[in-house]
Amino acid sequence: MLKDALRITEIFCSLQGETTRMGLPTVFVRLTGCPLRCGYCDSAYAFTGGETQSFQTILDKIASFNTHHICITGGEPLAQKGVHELMRLLCDAGYSLSLETSGALSIADVDPRVSRILDIKTPGSGELSKMHWENLDYLSKQDEVKFVLCDRSDYEWARNLIHERRLETLAPVLMSPVWETLQPADLAAWVLKDHLPVRMQVQLHKILWGERPGV
Protein backbone atom coordinates (compact mmCIF):
# COMPACT_ATOMS: atom_id res chain seq x y z
CA MET A 1 0.00 0.00 0.00
CA LEU A 2 1.32 3.42 -0.97
CA LYS A 3 1.70 6.09 1.68
CA ASP A 4 -1.21 8.56 1.64
CA ALA A 5 -3.41 6.03 -0.16
CA LEU A 6 -6.20 3.58 0.63
CA ARG A 7 -7.68 0.49 -0.97
CA ILE A 8 -11.10 1.56 -2.26
CA THR A 9 -13.96 -0.62 -3.51
CA GLU A 10 -16.23 2.20 -4.67
CA ILE A 11 -17.07 5.88 -4.29
CA PHE A 12 -20.59 6.91 -5.20
CA CYS A 13 -23.35 9.38 -4.37
CA SER A 14 -26.75 8.21 -3.19
CA LEU A 15 -29.34 8.84 -0.50
CA GLN A 16 -28.26 7.75 2.95
CA GLY A 17 -30.34 4.65 3.62
CA GLU A 18 -29.78 4.34 7.37
CA THR A 19 -28.99 6.23 10.59
CA THR A 20 -30.52 9.54 11.66
CA ARG A 21 -29.20 10.95 8.36
CA MET A 22 -31.55 8.73 6.36
CA GLY A 23 -32.64 10.39 3.12
CA LEU A 24 -29.79 12.90 2.90
CA PRO A 25 -27.75 13.00 -0.32
CA THR A 26 -24.43 11.47 0.70
CA VAL A 27 -21.15 10.46 -0.88
CA PHE A 28 -20.14 6.96 0.22
CA VAL A 29 -16.49 5.95 0.32
CA ARG A 30 -16.38 2.16 0.63
CA LEU A 31 -13.01 0.85 1.76
CA THR A 32 -11.87 -2.66 0.89
CA GLY A 33 -11.31 -5.39 3.47
CA CYS A 34 -12.99 -6.62 6.65
CA PRO A 35 -11.88 -8.95 9.46
CA LEU A 36 -15.48 -10.06 10.11
CA ARG A 37 -17.79 -12.38 8.20
CA CYS A 38 -21.30 -11.59 9.41
CA GLY A 39 -23.85 -14.07 8.11
CA TYR A 40 -26.12 -11.36 6.68
CA CYS A 41 -23.39 -9.13 5.19
CA ASP A 42 -24.63 -7.15 2.18
CA SER A 43 -21.23 -5.84 1.13
CA ALA A 44 -19.16 -9.02 0.86
CA TYR A 45 -17.95 -7.74 -2.51
CA ALA A 46 -15.79 -5.31 -0.51
CA PHE A 47 -13.87 -8.07 1.29
CA THR A 48 -11.22 -8.24 -1.43
CA GLY A 49 -10.15 -6.49 -4.60
CA GLY A 50 -10.61 -2.76 -4.80
CA GLU A 51 -8.20 -0.20 -6.19
CA THR A 52 -5.41 1.67 -4.45
CA GLN A 53 -6.21 5.38 -4.65
CA SER A 54 -4.28 8.34 -3.32
CA PHE A 55 -5.88 10.67 -0.80
CA GLN A 56 -5.92 13.40 -3.44
CA THR A 57 -7.73 11.16 -5.93
CA ILE A 58 -10.30 10.27 -3.28
CA LEU A 59 -10.77 13.91 -2.28
CA ASP A 60 -11.18 14.96 -5.91
CA LYS A 61 -13.81 12.28 -6.54
CA ILE A 62 -15.72 13.32 -3.44
CA ALA A 63 -15.59 16.99 -4.43
CA SER A 64 -16.96 16.18 -7.89
CA PHE A 65 -20.33 15.22 -6.36
CA ASN A 66 -20.80 18.64 -4.72
CA THR A 67 -22.38 17.03 -1.64
CA HIS A 68 -21.85 18.05 1.99
CA HIS A 69 -22.46 14.70 3.71
CA ILE A 70 -19.82 11.97 3.48
CA CYS A 71 -19.99 8.42 4.84
CA ILE A 72 -16.88 6.28 5.26
CA THR A 73 -17.91 2.63 5.16
CA GLY A 74 -16.71 -0.82 4.15
CA GLY A 75 -15.93 -3.58 4.68
CA GLU A 76 -14.45 -2.37 7.91
CA PRO A 77 -12.84 1.02 7.22
CA LEU A 78 -10.81 1.05 10.43
CA ALA A 79 -8.91 -2.01 9.19
CA GLN A 80 -6.89 0.42 7.04
CA LYS A 81 -4.90 2.68 9.35
CA GLY A 82 -4.66 5.43 6.75
CA VAL A 83 -8.39 6.09 7.03
CA HIS A 84 -7.71 8.28 10.07
CA GLU A 85 -5.74 10.75 7.97
CA LEU A 86 -8.42 10.74 5.27
CA MET A 87 -11.08 11.51 7.87
CA ARG A 88 -8.98 14.36 9.23
CA LEU A 89 -8.61 15.83 5.75
CA LEU A 90 -12.35 15.58 5.11
CA CYS A 91 -13.20 17.24 8.41
CA ASP A 92 -10.68 20.00 7.74
CA ALA A 93 -12.37 20.56 4.37
CA GLY A 94 -15.67 21.23 6.14
CA TYR A 95 -17.60 18.08 5.26
CA SER A 96 -20.15 16.50 7.59
CA LEU A 97 -18.58 13.10 8.09
CA SER A 98 -19.86 9.80 9.46
CA LEU A 99 -18.03 6.51 9.90
CA GLU A 100 -19.77 3.13 9.77
CA THR A 101 -17.79 0.61 11.80
CA SER A 102 -18.40 -2.98 12.87
CA GLY A 103 -17.44 -2.44 16.49
CA ALA A 104 -14.62 -4.97 16.27
CA LEU A 105 -11.85 -2.35 16.18
CA SER A 106 -11.22 0.54 18.54
CA ILE A 107 -12.80 3.90 17.74
CA ALA A 108 -10.68 5.68 20.35
CA ASP A 109 -8.45 7.43 17.80
CA VAL A 110 -11.19 8.52 15.39
CA ASP A 111 -11.26 12.29 14.88
CA PRO A 112 -13.78 13.72 17.37
CA ARG A 113 -15.47 15.67 14.58
CA VAL A 114 -16.61 12.40 12.99
CA SER A 115 -19.98 10.85 13.85
CA ARG A 116 -19.24 7.20 14.60
CA ILE A 117 -21.98 4.70 13.75
CA LEU A 118 -21.11 1.74 15.96
CA ASP A 119 -22.62 -1.59 14.92
CA ILE A 120 -23.05 -3.86 17.94
CA LYS A 121 -22.89 -7.43 16.68
CA THR A 122 -25.67 -9.70 17.90
CA PRO A 123 -25.48 -13.48 18.39
CA GLY A 124 -27.28 -13.95 15.07
CA SER A 125 -24.48 -12.19 13.20
CA GLY A 126 -22.06 -14.97 14.07
CA GLU A 127 -19.46 -12.39 15.11
CA LEU A 128 -20.44 -11.42 18.65
CA SER A 129 -17.09 -12.64 19.98
CA LYS A 130 -15.28 -10.01 17.89
CA MET A 131 -16.90 -7.04 19.65
CA HIS A 132 -14.53 -4.49 21.17
CA TRP A 133 -16.73 -3.57 24.12
CA GLU A 134 -14.47 -0.73 25.27
CA ASN A 135 -15.87 1.25 22.33
CA LEU A 136 -18.96 2.00 24.41
CA ASP A 137 -16.77 4.11 26.69
CA TYR A 138 -15.83 6.39 23.79
CA LEU A 139 -19.34 7.19 22.55
CA SER A 140 -20.83 10.67 22.59
CA LYS A 141 -24.22 12.08 21.66
CA GLN A 142 -23.02 12.82 18.13
CA ASP A 143 -22.40 9.10 17.62
CA GLU A 144 -24.98 6.35 17.07
CA VAL A 145 -25.32 2.72 18.10
CA LYS A 146 -26.85 0.25 15.66
CA PHE A 147 -28.23 -3.27 16.08
CA VAL A 148 -28.92 -5.40 13.00
CA LEU A 149 -31.39 -8.06 14.11
CA CYS A 150 -31.93 -11.50 12.60
CA ASP A 151 -34.82 -12.72 14.74
CA ARG A 152 -36.68 -12.45 18.04
CA SER A 153 -33.74 -13.91 19.94
CA ASP A 154 -31.46 -11.15 18.62
CA TYR A 155 -34.07 -8.57 19.59
CA GLU A 156 -34.32 -9.83 23.16
CA TRP A 157 -30.54 -9.91 23.47
CA ALA A 158 -30.27 -6.33 22.22
CA ARG A 159 -33.15 -5.16 24.41
CA ASN A 160 -31.46 -6.58 27.49
CA LEU A 161 -28.13 -4.98 26.58
CA ILE A 162 -29.80 -1.60 26.06
CA HIS A 163 -31.34 -1.79 29.52
CA GLU A 164 -28.22 -3.14 31.25
CA ARG A 165 -25.84 -0.59 29.74
CA ARG A 166 -28.38 2.25 29.41
CA LEU A 167 -27.18 2.71 25.86
CA GLU A 168 -29.68 5.46 25.08
CA THR A 169 -27.83 7.68 27.57
CA LEU A 170 -24.61 7.27 25.59
CA ALA A 171 -25.83 7.85 22.04
CA PRO A 172 -28.96 7.44 19.89
CA VAL A 173 -29.78 3.74 19.44
CA LEU A 174 -30.96 2.28 16.13
CA MET A 175 -32.54 -1.10 15.37
CA SER A 176 -32.68 -2.61 11.88
CA PRO A 177 -34.21 -5.86 10.65
CA VAL A 178 -32.00 -8.02 8.44
CA TRP A 179 -33.25 -7.51 4.89
CA GLU A 180 -35.77 -10.18 3.82
CA THR A 181 -35.13 -12.16 7.03
CA LEU A 182 -36.90 -10.35 9.88
CA GLN A 183 -40.18 -8.67 8.97
CA PRO A 184 -40.06 -4.92 9.73
CA ALA A 185 -43.62 -4.99 11.07
CA ASP A 186 -42.64 -7.62 13.63
CA LEU A 187 -39.72 -5.54 14.86
CA ALA A 188 -41.93 -2.46 15.03
CA ALA A 189 -44.47 -4.33 17.17
CA TRP A 190 -41.79 -5.52 19.60
CA VAL A 191 -40.30 -2.05 19.98
CA LEU A 192 -43.71 -0.52 20.64
CA LYS A 193 -44.74 -3.22 23.12
CA ASP A 194 -41.52 -2.83 25.12
CA HIS A 195 -41.41 0.98 24.87
CA LEU A 196 -37.77 0.76 23.89
CA PRO A 197 -35.86 4.08 23.68
CA VAL A 198 -34.67 3.34 20.14
CA ARG A 199 -35.21 4.47 16.58
CA MET A 200 -36.32 1.66 14.29
CA GLN A 201 -35.03 1.94 10.75
CA VAL A 202 -35.30 0.11 7.46
CA GLN A 203 -32.77 0.30 4.63
CA LEU A 204 -34.20 3.03 2.41
CA HIS A 205 -31.73 2.42 -0.41
CA LYS A 206 -32.82 -1.22 -0.74
CA ILE A 207 -36.48 -0.23 -0.79
CA LEU A 208 -35.76 2.24 -3.60
CA TRP A 209 -33.23 0.31 -5.70
CA GLY A 210 -32.92 -3.24 -4.38
CA GLU A 211 -29.85 -4.93 -2.95
CA ARG A 212 -26.93 -4.10 -5.22
CA PRO A 213 -23.62 -2.21 -5.13
CA GLY A 214 -23.38 1.50 -5.76
CA VAL A 215 -26.63 2.59 -4.13
Q: Is 41 annotated as a binding residue?
A: yes
* 215 is a domain residue: no
* 192 is a domain residue: yes
Q: Is 95 annotated as a binding residue?
A: no
Q: Is 15 annotated as a binding residue?
A: yes
Query: Which pLDDT score, from 0 to 100, does residue 3 have?
Result: 76
pLDDT confidence of 125, banded at 50, 70, 90? Answer: very high
* 103 is a domain residue: yes
Q: Which domain holds residue 26?
A: 5-209
Any idea what the Cα angle at residue 87 is, between residues 199 and 8, rounded to 5°? 95
Is the per-residue pLDDT at 114 higher than 80? yes
Query: Which pLDDT score, from 0 to 100, does residue 215 have?
Result: 82
CB of 123 within 8 A of CB of 39?
Answer: no
* 117 is a domain residue: yes
189-213 in b/e burial notation, b at 16+ Cβ within 10 A? ebbeeeebebbbbbbbbbeeeeeee
Query: Which pLDDT score, from 0 to 100, does residue 117 have?
Result: 98
Average predicted confidence (pLDDT) for the chain: 96
Q: Which amino acid is at 4?
A: D
* 98 is a domain residue: yes
Q: Is 16 annotated as a binding residue?
A: yes
Q: How many CB atoms lie within 10 A of CB 153?
A: 12
Query: Which pLDDT score, from 0 to 100, does residue 103 have?
Result: 94
The CATH number of the domain holding residue 41 is 3.20.20.70
Q: How many domains would you assign to the chain?
A: 1
Q: Is 73 annotated as a binding residue?
A: yes
pLDDT tens track for 33-68: 999 999 999 899 999 999 999 999 999 999 999 999
Taking residues 163-185, what's their average pLDDT? 96
Is the per-residue pLDDT at 150 higher than 80? yes
Q: Is 38 annotated as a binding residue?
A: yes
* 92 is a domain residue: yes
Supply the pTM of this predicted model: 0.94
* 76 is a domain residue: yes
Is the per-residue pLDDT at 2 higher than 70? no
Query: Which pLDDT score, from 0 to 100, does residue 42 have?
Result: 87
Q: Is 43 annotated as a binding residue?
A: yes
* 32 is a domain residue: yes
- Cα–Cα dist 177/188, whole Å: 10
Q: Using CB atoms within 10 A of its CB, is residue 81 exposed (0-12), middle (13-18) or buried (19+)?
A: exposed
pLDDT tens track for 79-102: 999 999 999 999 999 999 999 999
- Cα–Cα dist 57/77, whole Å: 17
Is the per-residue pLDDT at 1 higher than 70? no
